Structure formats: structure tokens, C-alpha cells
Structure 1
Amino acid sequence: MRKTIIIGTGPAGLTAAIYLARANLNPLVIEGPEPGGQLTTTTEVENFPGFPDGIMGPELMANMRKQAERFGAEFRSGWVNSVDMSERPFKLSVEGLGELTAETLIISTGASAKYLGIPGEKDNVGRGVSTCATCDGFFFRNKKIIVVGGGDSAMEEAHFLTRFASEVVLVNRRNELRASKIMQDRARSNPKISWALNRTPLEVVSGPLGVTGLKVKNNETGAEETIATDGLFVAIGHTPNTRFLAGQLETDETGYLLVKPGTTETNIPGVFACGDVQDHKYRQAISAAGTGCMAALDCERFLENGQAEDAEAGLQLNEV
């Protein structure tokens, strides 16, 4: 039985592994099908402190893993099919590894960006297609950008990208927007934002150097056209990776794990959540790493206090 198992290997999970390993708790880290999380699909990361010249996303994740391994963290690859949190120790059913048990769990499985699912999209991630304006907007200075989406996130990303782009075209499948009125008004008042509403994206067009346009269908006329662009930002939301938990942990209305304010504690004692799986607002590598540190410290204190409480309870029972 392990003292702690970390599920997920993005910046949050790896930071938690570093801290727990340094505390001699020998954490086991379960890697899913995408070790390193979303940063492994990012090219250059320029906003992570300590790298004045930037660093490639996969390299940053590889370095964080090496750091955790150096202190004694163990990594195993496998798909977590289910977790039983009804009692401690917790039981995990992991494809390829069988059943594992742990006194504590750290959930850092992240959230997956929703994509349009059209030809050319996934092929050009990192070559002009992005799902994070704050991560990649800087690379599109004085360029034309398309943002796809109609909710608050799309309005916010479009507005943010006008700091860098010469023009931002907001594409939405419908004439109506789902965004709140205040967010719509803010976007409509921005002179750098133009609109291509009631248009369905069909294909991401690219050349040797990356994205060159977005082919869309005019839903009113049925005509197809290609909107020229240097970059495409997909802003149609994220899905937290929590299905394997089968509803055992409390979530908000969109599925993100809820934690006790100021901590990483979930509604089940001994289970902690960090990174994008519990953060639908910031979704940055540095903020994820920060919550990974918090989760490790919360976990370490829980193990210390829990062992003391168990021992005290045992003594009381003996006295009775």
C-alpha cells in the first residue's frame, strides 16, 4: 500500500510529486495516455518563471519529471478505470497495473480543451491552432486571428488577443451568442474585433508554415468561403477529466472538482485536487504548479495528523 498516489502528470501533478518525494513519502505517479498534460502539445513557453529565453513545453515537463524522479517519485503508465473512495485505504483499478491501494490520493488529471473536430485542426496544434490565448497570444503580434466560440470565454479571449493582433475575427455557428450581455457589449465595442456569425467551421487550411485560413459555411446562404488568418483560437470550453471518479467527489455545475476554499481538500478526507481539474478560471501552468505544491503540503499534513488521530482513537478504544 502506498502512502499517496498522484493521478496525472501535468505541472500540478509533477510539482506535487517533487514536494512529496522530498518529504520522503515516495509518491507513485500514474501517467495517463498524455504524460505531461497539455503543455506537451505546446511549442514555446515564455511565461513560466525562470526561463528568460523561453522553453519548449515538452522539455519543461520532462525536466519536472526528472526532478521528481531524482527525489524518489515513482512513475507508472496506466489508465485509471475506477477509484473506490468509500473507505481508506482507497482502491484504484488501473489498466495494466491491476489494483492499487493508497492512504491518500491527489487528483491532477486536468481538463481537456474541446476542439471543433474538423479536418486540419489537430494537425496544426502548435502551428497556428491554439486553445489558450494567454499562452500563445504573444506569438501573433500584428497578425490576423480567428476566435471560434460564442460564450464568455470566446469574448474574453477575443478581447485579450486584440492586445497583440491587428484584427480578430469572431466566428460562431449561430447568429446569437451565449455570452453574457456585458461580455458581448465589451467585445462589440472593441474596434479590432469583427464578426462572422452564423457560419459553421469546415476545415483549417494550412501551408508549409502553418495556418493560413479557416473554411466556413454560411448557414444562411449555404455558400462556402475561406477566411484568411494567421492563427485560430478555439474557445468552445474545456471538459474536466473526472469521468473515472464516477461522481464520488463534489463538482460544480460544469464538472470541475470543488475544493475547500484556501486548500486543495475535496469532500472526502484524504483526497486532494490540484491543477486544471479544479480550476476553470486561470488554467495556467504556473497556477497549476502552485496548487500542486498546496496539494502536496495538504497531503503531508493530513498523513501526519491522520496517523496521530488514528493512534489516539485506538488508545481510547483500548481504555474502554
Structure 2
Amino acid sequence: MDATQKDLVIVGGGPAGLSAAIYASRSLLDAVTLEREALGGQVILTSEVDNYPGVPHADGYGLTEAMREQAAGLGADIRMEPVDSLERNAETGRFLVRTPSAAYDAAAVIVSAGAQPRKAGFVGEERYAGHGVSYCATCDGMFYRGKQVFVIGGGNSAAEEALFLTRFASKVTVVVRKDHLRAQASVVSELERSEKVELRLMTSIVELGGGELPSSITFRDNATGETHVETYEEGSFGVFVLVGRVPESGLLRGLVELDESGYAVTDERMATTTPGLFVAGDVRRKPLRQIVTAASDGAVAATSVAAYLGHPVEG
């Protein structure tokens, strides 16, 4: 299979990849953006986005569709193709990107494949994702103002986001499958001091039930194995699954430095230790994973590629 030569291949069509496509087009780069499943990534599962500057009360699909239209209007080449492999020629410094139907010979690559939230695995989790089940407190916490929320997870992220949710929720119940939290002692102490927080140790959620929105939760006592069901008014509560995320960094293994969780390590220009290989969005190590930071990463990465290739960067 003959490889098509490109200045840049962008792997991933979420906010980071679409932002990179916009900036690549404005820099007159011959680029292609490859997305394996659905443009927008995890964002399209979000029913309401209220923290993207200038676009209040947007839905995830509509927001990313606007990004796609903007990129396409600037001439971006966006294709629905999964990437099978990414290789670098040590002699030429160029990259070979293979999909099931094509191959691309690129001078530079931006990987913006994102990260998937780790699922808890209870019955009804997929059914109510985005409609009672959330994976991001900072994204969706305000939608549960005055309501009860249940947080699944016992690590630092779960504990910190549970504290964040006390700003909005009437009550925050932290559900931990073990007999202790793994979070730092200072955070645990803060949780224990909060009048809004209840800790349920040795407990798991095994099922959500209800109609369009959940109205019942089945809990299991992990010490005895016994289960019990609690019922609520439909739509009066939410479940936040905060048991970690899994970065889509498989293509990067052996090419760049990954941290202990599998996230790519970059500098502020989104550059990795491999010349010409840049990483943007949730797949890289960063303190905040939001739509706005992903879009920013994509802009920085594409601008860095333009500078790397000696192309002019439009204002």
C-alpha cells in the first residue's frame, strides 16, 4: 500500500483534535484528522455543557459539531478511520500512520486520542450515562444543585471531587468498596468533617433502576454479601463514577515517555521527547481535563507543529 504524504496527521477527533485541525488549516499545513468512532469523543455523551466560555447551556454533540463545521469550513480533511499503528523512521524522522484502508507518511503527528473513564461495572451504568450517571464532578456538579449525589471511589480524585460536589448537592454519599479510603489523610479528614458527607465503607452499587432517569439504587454490603434497594423520586439524585481514567496511549508506547498511569509526558508546547511527535488533550499528563483545556492543547500543538515544519502561523 502506497503511503500518502502529509505534513501532519492528527489522531483523534475530539475537542483537542478538532482544535488542532482548525489551527493546522490556518497555518496552511497539509493535514488529515483521523477519528475511529465519533467526532467529539466523550463530549458528545454530555447532555449539557455549561462551562465552555462563550457557549452557555450547549449540548456536547452540538458544541463539537460546531467545531467540526468550523474546521471543515477552513478546509480541514477529517476522516472516520481508526489508526492501527504509528511508526517512526529513525533515518528520515518521518512517521508512518496506518489505518485499515490507508497509510500516511507524515512529517509530524499529533496524538489526541483522549482518555476513557474507568467504569464501575454496575447494572444500568451505560443506560444512564449522561442521564443520572456522570464521570466528571467539575463538568456536571452544578446540574445536581440541591439534589443528593452518590460518589463511587476512594482515591484522591474521588475524595476531592466529592468535596467539590458539596458546593452544589444537598448530600454527598461516598461509596467505597473497601474498609478505608485511599485518599490522603488531610482530604479524608475534610470529608469526615463535612456535614453534607456520608461515608459508606465496604459498600458497592450493583444496580441502578428507573425510567428515563434513575429512581432506585441497589447496594451490596461487601462484608456480608447482602443487598438492599433504596428508592428515590426519579431524577432527584445522581451517581458520579470516579474510579480513574484510562488514557488511549497504546499508539505511543515505545515512542514517548509515559507516566505510571499511562499518560504521555509533554512540555508546554505539547512536544514529546520524540521530534515531530506531539500530544494534546486528555491523553497527556495534565492537572485539568476539560473541553476548554483540550481545545487549548490542540491549538498549541498545531502551532508547535507549524513552527517545527517552518510554516507561517496566522494570527
The TM-score range, normalised by the shorter chain, is: over 0.9
Per the alignment, in what secondary structure is the counterpart of residue 202 of structure 1? strand
Aligned equivalent of 1:61:
64
Aligned equivalent of 1:93:
98
Aligned residue among 220, 232, 242 for 1:235: 242
**Is the CA contact 2:217–2:230 (under 8 Å) kept in the aligned structure 1?**
yes
Q: Which runs of 4+ in 1 moved over 6 A?
A: none
**TM-score scaled to structure 1, two decimals?**
0.91
Hey, what's the Cα distance between the residues in 2 that align with 1:219 and 1:133? 26
Higher helix share: 1
Displacement of 1:15 in angstroms is 0.6
Taking a change above 3 Å as real, the CA distance of residues 228 and 180 of structure 1, as seen in their structure-2 partners, is farther
Aligned residue among 229, 246, 254 for 2:253: 246
Per the alignment, in what secondary structure is the counterpart of residue 120 of structure 2? coil
One-letter code aligned to 2:191: A
**Pair 1:226 & 2:247 matched:** no
**Is the CA contact 1:198–1:220 (under 8 Å) kept in the aligned structure 2?**
yes
Structure 1 gap segments, 5+ residues each = 306-320
Hey, what's the Cα distance between the residues in 2 that align with 1:259 and 1:245? 12
Aligned equivalent of 1:294:
300
Per the alignment, in what secondary structure is the counterpart of residue 79 of structure 1? coil
Per the alignment, in what secondary structure is the counterpart of residue 44 of structure 1? coil
Aligned equivalent of 1:6:
10
Displacement of 1:281 in angstroms is 2.4
One-letter code aligned to 1:202: V
Residues 264-302 of structure 1 deviation map (CA, whole Å, 9 limit, x = unaligned): 100101111111111442111001111111101111000
**Is the CA contact 2:266–2:285 (under 8 Å) kept in the aligned structure 1?**
no
**Pair 1:264 & 2:265 matched:** no
Aligned equivalent of 1:128:
132
**Pair 1:277 & 2:283 matched:** yes
Displacement of 1:244 in angstroms is 2.6
Hey, what's the Cα distance between the residues in 2 that align with 1:228 and 1:2? 57
Name whichever of 229-238 and 217-226 sits farther off: 217-226
**Pair 1:195 & 2:202 matched:** no
Residues 72-125 of structure 1 deviation map (CA, whole Å, 9 limit, x = unaligned): 110111211111024322001212x23221000001011100011221101101
Trace 1:25-44 onto structure 2 (pairs within 5 A). Answer: 25-44=29-48
**Pair 1:82 & 2:85 matched:** yes
Residues 40-88 of structure 1 deviation map (CA, whole Å, 9 limit, x = unaligned): 1000111111124x11100111110110111111011121111102432
Residues 171-211 of structure 1 deviation map (CA, whole Å, 9 limit, x = unaligned): 01111211111221121121101011101221122223x12
Taking a change above 3 Å as real, the CA distance of residues 98 and 89 of structure 1, as seen in their structure-2 partners, is same
Residues 158-183 of structure 1 deviation map (CA, whole Å, 9 limit, x = unaligned): 10000000000000111121111122
Per the alignment, in what secondary structure is the counterpart of residue 198 of structure 2? strand
Structure 2 gap segments, 5+ residues each = none
**Is the CA contact 1:4–1:102 (under 8 Å) kept in the aligned structure 2?**
yes
Hey, what's the Cα distance between the residues in 1 that align with 2:163 and 2:20? 34
Number of residue equivalences: 301
- Identity over aligned pairs, percent: 38
CA RMSD of aligned residues (A): 1.4
Displacement of 1:227 in angstroms is 4.1
